Amino acid sequence: MQIYKGKSVFGGTAIGRIRVYSKGEQQVKRVRIEDTQRETARYHEATKQAMEQLAELYEKALKEVGEANAAIFEIHQMMLEDDDYRESVENIISTQKVNAEYAVAQTADNFAQMFASMDDDYMRERAADVRDISERLLSILHGKAEQGILADEPAIIVADDLAPSETVQLDKEMVLSFVTVRGSVNSHTAILARTMSIPALIGTELSLDADIDGKMGIVDGTNGTFYVDPDPETLDRMRKIQQEENEKKELLQTLKGKENITLDGKKIMLYANIGNMKDLATVLQNDAGGIGLFRSEFIYLEKDQFPTEEEQFQIYRTVAETMAGKRVIIRTLDIGADKQCDYFEMAKEENPAMGCRAIRICLTRPEIFKTQLRALLRASAFGKIAIMYPMITSVAEVRRIKEIVNEVEEELSSQGIAYGRPEQGIMIETPAAVMISDMLAEEVDFFSIGTNDLTQYALAIDRQNPSLDEFYDAHHPAVLRMIEMVVENAHKAGIWAGICGELGADLELTQKFLAMGVDELSVSPGRILPIRKIVLETDVEAYKAGNTGV
């Protein structure tokens, strides 16, 4: 048995025969030609055919993985038509008097090397896109038919790397999983794989020799492990794990795609809470209607210096594109209290839970806030992003936030940078915000109730102090009444109100929240389906009739 470690792109277990996929690099010879115009015309005709192929791939991907994920093929079309790329090929043909194949291959090498040397991760990944479009052109120029990944039985596909065009052509009925030596968790291919729900590993250090082709393999997408020719004990253990996963999938399939509507027709939005892009796979797997809380502070906590605007933009854009038009609510940085960053150089506080944290940092250090807002506004042009501001206690804070947002929009406009018009919401997590929620509702598009801090502040109990556990009551009537009050005030002002704290995932309270008229529950991805089950089985009016009071 051989064991290899890789980075997980999508979880789950796949067991089957291994099929080594080799692209068979196209050999390109440098041939001197006299008729440069004819050779240039060959290149233009190949480009036309490539554009037609990409258009077909776009339509196929649109049906299978959604508009945002199909966009890679539009990007490839744009790259084919890029003036710099086209002019490079044409210039090599005319000045060096060489064949179109050589000119394309040389341009591909030059551009891929240029992208690969860039500091930005997103731009480095474009090197693979350049090679992908160039390989497509070379196939056409060589007169080869477009080939996908073929298998005569369901198999684990092992490759050096898989281009997005190859991934979308996978026959899902014949592919159990794929394992690649190279690749990035943020690449278009990885996003497509997650959307297609194919267990996958990238960055797996293995040799692509013929010895493993046809052998039994196991992909443990959960733990990032690839077993080749597993021993009987490992095979038996992983088959049991796979059986458990399949049983869970059966439950998933029965509830997947169903609307979150009660027996008497009340609708509720079920969204997911995530901390980073790695969580997106479980969001999609559990059929969340959107992301109700993206904790952007983890971008800051995972670094030893302030993340740049471009770094943040690429993360927010990827999340928005992956969610393919579903609402993505991104909370602005919530640093402070139990989440500390040394490079913020915050003064030591006796009571950090009530100190300079969250929106208070943003309003007192606007340079940090504006960098994040620029990234968020830019990313909102690529999906349905909403921005949510934490730890609000006054109308004045909200109005100051809106002023800063307006300043950032003016800056972007003056610089000719595209941006969207995202919804603006706030978290209700202080008693002060609850008591003036009628006033706050006039200023924003939505509320999201952060029950963790709200309970802490309402009960005057430090939720980080385990010695106070016996006094901490998440179901305290005061907390539930405050939630009900916030929902009522939101509806009076014509906006929606949700819950993104831990209480939203408490199955004992799901029916109570439905009765209160809560519009949205945002929970950890694994809680989506259990809550959906309760929603589908509940008659809200009957529940209200049998349960009076909070």
63 and 198, same structural domain?
no
The closest alpha carbon to 242, from 186, 177, 289, 168, belongs to: 177
Residue with tokens 């508009």: 67
Domain count, the chain: 3
Nearest-10 Cα torsion for 380, 382, 384, 388: -30
Q: How many CB atoms lie within 10 A of CB 368?
A: 17
pLDDT digits (tens, 9 = 90+) for 274-321: 877 777 878 888 889 999 999 888 888 777 788 899 999 999 999 999
Two structure tokens written together for 548: 């009076």
Report the pLDDT value the prediction gives residue 337, as an integer from 0 to 100.
Answer: 54
CA 114 to CA 309: how far, in whole Å? 22
Section 487-506 average pLDDT: 94
Q: Is the pLDDT reported for residue 338 higher than 70?
A: no
- Is residue 25 assigned to a domain? no
Q: Which of 76, 341, 362, 500 is catalytic?
A: 500
480 and 411, same structural domain?
yes
Q: Which of 76, 142, 188, 475 is catalytic?
A: 188
Report the pLDDT value the prediction gives residue 119, as an integer from 0 to 100.
Answer: 73
- Is residue 550 assigned to a domain? no
The angle subtended at Cα 436 by Cα 435 and Cα 437, nearest 5°, is 95
CATH number at residue 416: 3.20.20.60
500 and 396, same structural domain?
yes
| Helix, strand and coil percent figures for the chain, each rounded to 5 | 50, 15, 35
For 453, half-sphere exposure in the C-beta direction (CA atoms, 13 angstrom radius) is 25
The closest alpha carbon to 204, from 231, 232, 230, 185, belongs to: 185
Task: State the DSSP string of 81-119.
Answer: T-HHHHHHHHHHHHHHTB-HHHHHHHHHHHHHHHHHT-S
Section 372-398 average pLDDT: 96
| Structural domain harbouring 227 | 2-18+155-166+175-252
pTM: 0.57
pLDDT digits (tens, 9 = 90+) for 11-60: 889 999 998 887 655 678 899 999 999 999 999 999 999 999 898 888 87
344 and 451, same structural domain?
yes
CA 461 to CA 458: how far, in whole Å? 8
Segment among 290-304, 497-511, 528-542 with least mean pLDDT: 290-304
489 and 405, same structural domain?
yes
188 is catalytic: yes
Contact assessment for residue 175 and residue 21, using Cβ atoms and an 8 Å cutoff: no
CATH number at residue 6: 3.50.30.10
Contact assessment for residue 330 and residue 386, using Cβ atoms and an 8 Å cutoff: yes
372 and 228, same structural domain?
no
Q: Is the pLDDT reported for residue 150 higher than 60?
A: no
What amino acid is encoded at 527 in this protein? R
For the stretch 140-165, what's the b/e string if a residue is b when 16 or more beta carbons lie within 10 angstroms of its beta carbon?
bbeeeeeeebebeebbbbbbebbbbb
Two structure tokens written together for 340: 């500390």
CA 261 to CA 528: how far, in whole Å? 14
The closest alpha carbon to 421, from 390, 381, 371, 372, belongs to: 381
Q: How many CB atoms lie within 10 A of CB 63?
A: 8
Segment among 178-187, 245-254, 344-353 with least mean pLDDT: 344-353
132 and 193, same structural domain?
no
For the ranges 21-30, 456-465, 505-514, 541-550, the maximum mean pLDDT occurs at 505-514
- Is residue 310 assigned to a domain? yes
